[in-house]
Structures are given as C-alpha cells and as structure tokens.
Structure 1
Amino acid sequence: MRIRKALILAAGYGTRFLPATKAVPKEMLPIVDRPVIQYIVEEALAAGLDQIVIVTAMSKRAIEDHFDRNPDLEAALAKKPDYLEEVQRISGIEIAFVRQKEMKGQSHAILGARRFMGDEPFALFYPDDVIFSDKPAIGQLLDVQERHGGSVIAVQRVPQQEIVHYGAIDGEPLEEGVWRVRSIVEKPAADEAPSNLGSVGRFVLSADIWPLLEKTPPSIGGEMFFTDTMTMLMEKGGEVFAYEYEGQRFDTGRPIGLLKASIYTALRRPEIAPELAEFLRALNVPA
C-alpha cells in the first residue's frame, strides 16, 4: 500500500538568520515569492502524500497562519483573481500541526507527532533541504521503498572535505543509485568517512521505527538524534537503503543556500529571469 503520510520537522530556531528570524520562522523566509515551507508541502503533495503533519515550536504561529484562510485578504483580492486563486489554493491544503515544547532533537520531535501518524510508515522531511527536480525527490524514494521495502534515506555525493557536515553512508551497492546501508557515520572526519555519500533531509520510514524512537538515548545536550535511531533500526535487523536522488538541492538553513535557491528559482521564471540575468551580468564582480 502506497504511503500517504508526511511529517515535516520545522521547530528549529534559525539562528544563522538572526536577527531576521527573531520574529519570523526561518521556514517562512521566501524563495522569490513563496516561503520555504510551501516548497516542502508542495513536494509532498506532488508525490501523493496528502496527510501532512508539521512539527513547529513556540513563536512559529506564522507557519500555521500561512496555510489557514484569511477572509479579509481574500476580500481585498476580489479584483485580482490570479492572486486570489493562489491564496485560496494554499489555504485549501489540509495540514495538522504539532508543537514541540522542548528542543530535544529530531527523534523527540517525531515522537511528538505519533498520535497523528498512527504507528504507520511515513515520509520525513527536513525543510532546510529544498530540492528542485522533475519528479519529486520524496517520490523517487517512495519508488525505491516499493521495490525493496524497509526504509530509504536520500543521499548525494559531496566533496570529501564537506562530508564532515553530513551523515556519511557505508553501504553495499544494489543497483544504480541504490545501496543497502550498513552504517551511518555522523559528521566524520574527511579521512575517516566510509564514503562521500551524505544523507540529506528526505526519508521514507517503515513502521518499525516507532518503538525505537522511544528507546533512542539522549546524546549531547540531552538531544535524541535521529541518526542514533536509524542505527538502532539496523542493529535490530531492519533494512535501510540509500538512494541517490535526481535533482538540485539547496541548504536553505544557511543564508548562502537560501540566496542560491532564490537566484536558481528566479532564473527559471520567465517574468523575472531576463531582468535578473541582466543585473547579474552588470555587476561585473571580480572572482
């Protein structure tokens, strides 16, 4: 049976964007004219995931408001049908929200949504990772899960010196772009990484993950790291696969990543691209 549930973790502070994120959630920062979180929700919907839960935190009410109706705004847009249609489309998406009351890591955040997920398999998103692709990245992982079962992690090849920022995959090749994962080494030294395959923020998870989330031991600072949960799953005999997705990813949790995503998107918008391209050429910035 095809997985239909999606869980999006959006409780982080966004400290890299301060002071902009003091009152505005980082997930609400725009890529051109849509907030980051909307790109994630639209990816989920495009892959057939129509039961969406977003984990938020204190001071992130703006995310809920974005997906809620605004009758006053709709009335003001009565003579602007294109804008009105877009606003109504967004507010028509059915989303449940859960607030993480303590910042205790990814596994703790996932557990907080358990009553909505129903101990079923689900897709997991880290919204910092925005991926542009012809076929939704999470849909690619769902296809792998349908072929092989188990759980699936999205990976990409990264320069060896950058693997220190990722969970590095030690895996056995199965088919083109797919590995059976033996272990995940979180943020290894460049010369100790088992590969240059780094995990990114898309997962398809079997129902076997739920009891292990509860047993995930607190680590540094009392946080329950999801990599530890995945390691426990493999130690219990659960199959985990890595898939090298097709698409262009941007880490919008970093200012430079958000800026690159905005430029990438704008250059693909015919009403914006010519003027932006001309502006960029005119800058003549030395390398």
Structure 2
Amino acid sequence: MNIRKAVIPVAGKGTRFLPATKQTPKEMLPIINIPMVHYSVMEAVESGIEQLIFVTSSGKGSIENYFDRNLELENFLEQNGKIKELELIQNVSSMIEIITVRQKEQLGLGHAINCASPIIGNETFSVILGDDIVRGERPATKQLIEVSKKNNGKSVIGVMEVPNAETYRYGIVDGEFIDDKRLTLLMKAMIEKPKPSEAPTNLATPGRYILSGNIFECLNEIPRGVGGEYQLTDAINMLASRDEVYAHKFDGDRFDTGNIEGFLNATVEFALRDESTKELMLNIIREKIKTYGIKR
C-alpha cells in the first residue's frame, strides 16, 4: 500500500499576523528566506507523496504561484549569471504535482479536508497542517506512513508529549500502547482541549495525520461542533468507534508557526541550525543583549 496523496489546508485568514496577512497568505510568510508552507511541501516530498492538494480560499493565489514556474524570473537570473538562485527556484517548481481546491466557506478543519474528497476518493492519504513545522532526521509524515503500513493501512494520528499543564491548548489522545517502546497506541478517543485535571494523557496532536478514505463518510455524518464548524476531532472519534485508529509519537522538533511567538522561535532556531547563518544570528543576539542590557 502506497500513500500517494497529501492534503495541506491553507484557507485560513491568518488574523494573528495582521496587517501582514491582509494581502499575503500567512503560509507565505518567510522563515528567513523560505515561506513556511515550503517546509510542509518538502516534508510531503521526502515522505514519498506524489500528489499534493492545497485547500485554499480567496486571496491565496500566491501559494499556487510560488510552486509554479516563473519564466520571466528564470530568464533574468540566467542572463545575469545567477545560476545558484536559478536552480533554487526551478527546484521549487518541480518538487511535486500540485492541485488546488477552493473552500468557499471557512467551516473548520474537517470541512476543509472534506473539500478534497473528490480528488482523494477512497485512498488513504496524509494531512499536513501548513503552520506546524516539524524538523528531524526523518520526516514526521514518513514515520506515520510506516506505522500505517505495519497496521494494514489504518489511520494514524501523529502525537507529541506536552507539559501536563498545557493540555488545554491541544487535542489530546487517549489509548493503550501496543509496543514495548511505548510509541504507538491503539486510540480510544481524542479529547479537544481538556483541562489538565481531565486529560487522559499528555499526548497532543500537532497537525500530522494519516487518514483512511473512510474518514469522508464520518465527515459527512458529523454535525457542526464548536463555533459552528465541522471538527476533524469529531470525525476521527467516529472513525475510531468503527475501525482501528492508531496514534504514534513521532520523532522531531515541532514549531507552531501559526502564532507570533512560535514564528519568532522558529526563525531564530532555524538560523542557528544553519551554518551559513549561525554566526550572524549569534552576533545579532549578542549585540541586542548588550544594547538593551538584558540579563541572562
């Protein structure tokens, strides 16, 4: 069983980044010189995904344009001898086959994923949230695909451990471990943002899923939930009541770039991890500490 398709929902308004996102999609905001959505697409490519479905809304055309060819820019770079830059943008445009579908109303993550159902059909597929970046030796999506293959193509929810006091910020998974390393669980339920005193575990869902095509039947049956939206959590719980759904603790560092704090953290961290920018970032930090008298 090969998982060939991935869905990346990018229809949100990005209100936390206004006024920048008045005209620029949040997903196109750069972390140094790479738009955040680029990292999600790279994860899909490195996980063996062949076809990517962006679920978009009005004003998101620049995302599709970014992954398309720009012949005028290519010609300019070639004529001016900027071969390295030329190769960079050509690599972006040739990474993967991309299809876009329009979510005409923002009615929740479940609704966004359901918009891709005509393209997905009955296939098992991946979902990658564009403002959750995971960096590690192996792509998080690839790790989940491997767990799905080991378990007859069943759905797998990516999870990570969070401090017990922060369970109210996430969907939390309840289940029983099925392996000695305590990495994979057979899921009982997912609870949306439980209080720490009510959370069954500290295993949170940061936006990585492998879902069987049966999820669409559930998405079509669930009622609107919180905020009048169709919640993916509700559909996954319905699926878990009918079929085996697993959760897996993936290996990698997660960056929540959907808010200002996480975006800044990712920018600094990525600069420090890259040898070409590490010293520059360290020097900037040292100078700012000196200028503002910040005590360590």
- Normalising by the smaller structure, the TM-score range is over 0.9
- 1:269 paired with 2:274, answer yes
Runs of 4+ in 1 over 3 A off after TM superposition: none
TM-score, normalising length from structure 1? 0.97
Decide which moves more: 207-216 or 196-205. 207-216
User: What percentage of residue pairs aligned between the two structures are identical?
Assistant: 42
- 5+ residue gaps, structure 2, are none
Q: Look up the match of 2:130.
A: 127
Q: Look up the match of 1:48.
A: 48
SS at match of 1:110: helix
TM-score, normalising length from structure 2? 0.94
Q: Displacement, 1:139?
A: 0.3
Q: Displacement, 1:286?
A: 2.6
Say whether the 8 Å CA contact 2:122–2:212 is kept in structure 1: no
- 1:215 paired with 2:193, answer no
Say whether the 8 Å CA contact 2:6–2:126 is kept in structure 1: yes
Q: Look up the match of 1:164.
A: 168
Q: Matches of residues 1-287 of structure 1 in structure 2 within 5 Å?
A: 1-78=1-78, 79-92=81-94, 93-149=96-152, 150-175=154-179, 176=181, 177-236=183-242, 238-284=243-289, 285-286=294-295
Q: Displacement, 1:65?
A: 1.0
CA distance in 2, matches of 1:70, 1:258: 28
CA distance in 1, matches of 2:109, 2:32: 28
SS at match of 1:267: helix
Decide which moves more: 173-182 or 223-232. 173-182
Say whether the 8 Å CA contact 1:16–1:255 is kept in structure 2: yes
CA distance in 1, matches of 2:2, 2:295: 51
CA distance in 2, matches of 1:230, 1:165: 18
Q: Displacement, 1:33?
A: 1.0
Deviation track 1:223-281 (CA, whole Å, cap 9, x = no partner) reads 10000000111122x11111111101000001111111111111122221112112213
CA distance in 1, matches of 2:64, 2:149: 32
Say whether the 8 Å CA contact 2:124–2:213 is kept in structure 1: yes
Pairs aligned (count): 286
SS at match of 2:200: coil
Deviation track 1:66-101 (CA, whole Å, cap 9, x = no partner) reads 111111111111110111011111112320011110
Say whether the 8 Å CA contact 1:4–1:122 is kept in structure 2: yes
CA distance in 2, matches of 1:154, 1:31: 24
CA distance in 2, matches of 1:215, 1:84: 48
Say whether the 8 Å CA contact 2:121–2:213 is kept in structure 1: no
- Which letter maps to 1:215? E
- Which letter maps to 1:235? S
CA distance in 2, matches of 1:272, 1:178: 37
CA distance in 2, matches of 1:186, 1:126: 17
Say whether the 8 Å CA contact 1:156–1:198 is kept in structure 2: yes
Deviation track 1:101-142 (CA, whole Å, cap 9, x = no partner) reads 001111111111111112211001111110001100000001
Aligned residues: CA RMSD: 1.1
Say whether the 8 Å CA contact 1:107–1:216 is kept in structure 2: no
- 5+ residue gaps, structure 1, are none
- Which letter maps to 1:82? K
CA distance in 1, matches of 2:168, 2:27: 24
Deviation track 1:15-68 (CA, whole Å, cap 9, x = no partner) reads 111111111101001111110111000100001001111101111111011111
Say whether the 8 Å CA contact 2:187–2:247 is kept in structure 1: yes
